[in-house]
Amino acid sequence: MKLSSTGFAVLGAALIAISYGLARFAFGLFVPPIREELGLSASVIGIIGALPLISFLLATAVAPLVTKILGSRYTATLSGAFGAGGLGLISQADGAVALGVGVFACGICTGLMMPALTAAMQAVVKRTLHGRVSSVMNAGTSIGVVVAVPTVLLLTDAWRFAYASFAVLAVVGLVAAWRLLPSVSRVVPAEAASPPPLRELPWSRLIRLSLFAFLMGVVSSAYWIFAPDLVVNLGGLPSASTAWLWLAVGVAGLGGAAVADLADRNNPPITQALMLMMLAASLALLAASPAQPLLTAFSALVFGLAYMSLTGLYLMTGIRLLPGRLSVGPVLPFMAVSLGQASGSPLVGWLVEGFGYADAFAMLAAVGVFVAVLSPFYPGAIAEAEEEEGSEETGLQAAYDHQLHDEEGEPLEDPCWTLDEDEGDAGMKTS
């Protein structure tokens, strides 16, 4: 069965919703009942919260090679298997070790999925639609976070059943990936020029991008892992009320898809500074008013919009700075963000135990403000189109349009890709 571009976007968003939204980011939503039932301290939760981020980094590092060997279909299926196994293990966890192994497996699921979908997108979707399809797929994270909300509202403290349900959804996603994704492994058209050698890459800009993404990951880790625990323990709200936090994060996060055009038109450093200030404000507001449901929900709206906008900005910058490297540009900034979250999660756990929730969140908010002040150093000249007179191309699609060049250095024209059904690995060809 050959997917249309719309069908692929919907399937990709669903798989991202499972692998990112449920397998990775939903964990913080269930921290209060998990801590209570398993008797875990804040520092232990911080360490466990870092494990899926570490495994995500490890999986992402080898994902391009795995995708090249297995192809997109089997890589996505392998991702789904890790997700189903990890979610199932979490549902049966009886202590920190089993819980840690489960979330570690979920991180592998997350790390493999996006590279697999990126490879499949090159074969199924016209390049003129890559930006739009990527935006839809990235929105899957917010969708997955929203999907987790009813399980908390309807099944208060029934986190084991919730994770068992997530495991079932992961199995459904696994079957869908097996049946619908192409098995293509080559993601670069034969007529495209080779990417620039490593020595010619803009290393200064790449390092600055990675540092900003890393620091954003450190700041955001407080919210993703400990925000529900804060409103329950510091604000005295019932565990079920934390569902509204994640609903607000997910709904607001859907608006982050528009940040690519916003960044190109209004200067990326300015956009990053604004979004980082919003991120810091969300942490400060939550720490200041944890017992006020409306204010906590508003802080979640601000956090969701800021976080998804920043990840979209970093995604676009990574693609711009790494032309011709389709398997690296989209994942490099996410690796940096995850490394920051993996470092920040145990740090926040230690701060919570040493200073309390309010002070810990205030400290991370201060770090966010400091990083925002440094935004003039963000790699702002990211659009090759800006150097061409009369060019009005902006946003994520413009970044994809200038990813591939021919031997003369001109952007590669967009052919209509079809799957070669005569080849076992469904190689790409032009029609």
Give pLDDT, residue 411. Answer: 62
In a domain, 423, yes or no: no
In a domain, 429, yes or no: no
Give pLDDT, residue 418. Answer: 42
In a domain, 222, yes or no: yes
In a domain, 169, yes or no: yes
SS3 state at 28: helix
Domain count, the chain: 1
In a domain, 424, yes or no: no
β-pair partners for 429: 418
In a domain, 46, yes or no: yes
Helices (H), 28-95: 31-38, 42-91
Let me know how many helices (H) and strands (E) the chain has, helices first.
Answer: 15, 2
Give pLDDT, residue 414. Answer: 57
Asked if 230 and 355 count as a contact pair (C-beta separation under 8 A), the reply is no
| Tens-digit pLDDT string for the chain (431 aa) | 677 888 898 999 999 999 988 888 788 778 888 888 999 888 898 899 889 988 998 998 888 889 888 988 999 999 999 999 999 999 999 999 999 999 999 999 999 998 889 888 878 888 778 777 887 887 788 888 888 777 777 765 688 998 999 999 999 999 999 999 988 766 566 556 566 666 667 788 889 999 999 999 999 999 988 888 888 888 887 777 777 888 888 888 777 766 656 666 668 898 899 999 999 999 999 999 888 888 998 999 999 999 988 988 888 888 888 876 666 777 788 889 989 998 998 999 899 999 999 999 999 999 999 999 999 999 875 444 344 433 445 666 766 766 766 665 566 665 544 444 333 343 443 33
In a domain, 53, yes or no: yes
DSSP string, 3-19: PPHHHHHHHHHHHHIII
Tell me the C-alpha distance between 106 and 81, whole Å.
Answer: 9
CATH number at residue 197: 1.20.1250.20
Cβ burial of 96 (10 Å; 0-12, 13-18, 19+) is middle
In a domain, 430, yes or no: no
Phi, psi torsion values for 189, nearest 5 degrees:
-60, 150
Expressed as residue numbers, the domain containing 74 is: 5-416
Q: Kindly report the pTM of this predicted structure.
A: 0.79
> 């982050």: which residue's tokens?
256
